[in-house]
Structure 1
Amino acid sequence: MSASVLRILERVPRFPNSDFVFTTTGRSGVSGWGKPFARLCDSAAVHGWRLHDLRRTAASGMARHGVPPHVVEKVLNHISGTISGVAAVYNRYGYDAEKRDALEQWGTLIESIQKKSASD
């Protein structure tokens, strides 16, 4: 995870003695996203989008900032795509450093948007 994500997660309220960051019980991860997601959309007065749209936004944003498509696909954990055929069979490199750099770039961009929004 990028440094910016870790800073955000450090501020998320937690259940005492629970290892889960996103939980409603303290004993398991969140399940049944439908109702909480609908409440979030209603409270933000934003409708017509899906959680999957966040992946698309991140992929488009990273590409816009010069992250190569094969690294974006690795970040999203896509199996097929720009590295296919013989390259997919023989190229077993995980691109960990490149993924870390891409996520740091994305985190920096999100923080700059947050700061700009807060100052407006």
Structure 2
Amino acid sequence: MTSDEKGFRFDPAQVRALAAELALTGPLTVGRIADRLGTSSRTLQRHLAGQGVSLRAIVEESRLEIARVLLCKTDLDVQEIAARTGYSTPSGLARAFARWTGCSPRTYRKAGGRVVRT
């Protein structure tokens, strides 16, 4: 019997919490979240979409929050923060971070965690 047949739904809040937890132990990816929940990426995406939630959006929100915390609370360099948030390069993190906040990770850190539009 599949989770569909049981009527089981993944709770978006549970998925968000798990995403935050996983980001602290390695790169945050859709596959790691699904594996931890004992399902496939596609099944998890389908269940969340049925609730009007995008798994990709959850991952991106979690990445942003973890990056913000790491930039403000640690001395980790941007390369390490990129790796911890699931980006293969610091430039990938920088582009995403600028899209989210309007400034670079370095500018955000220098501003003490305030969003600075550049």
Higher helix share goes to which structure?
2
Q: Same fold (TM over 0.5)?
A: no
TM-score between both structures, scaled by the size of structure 1: 0.30
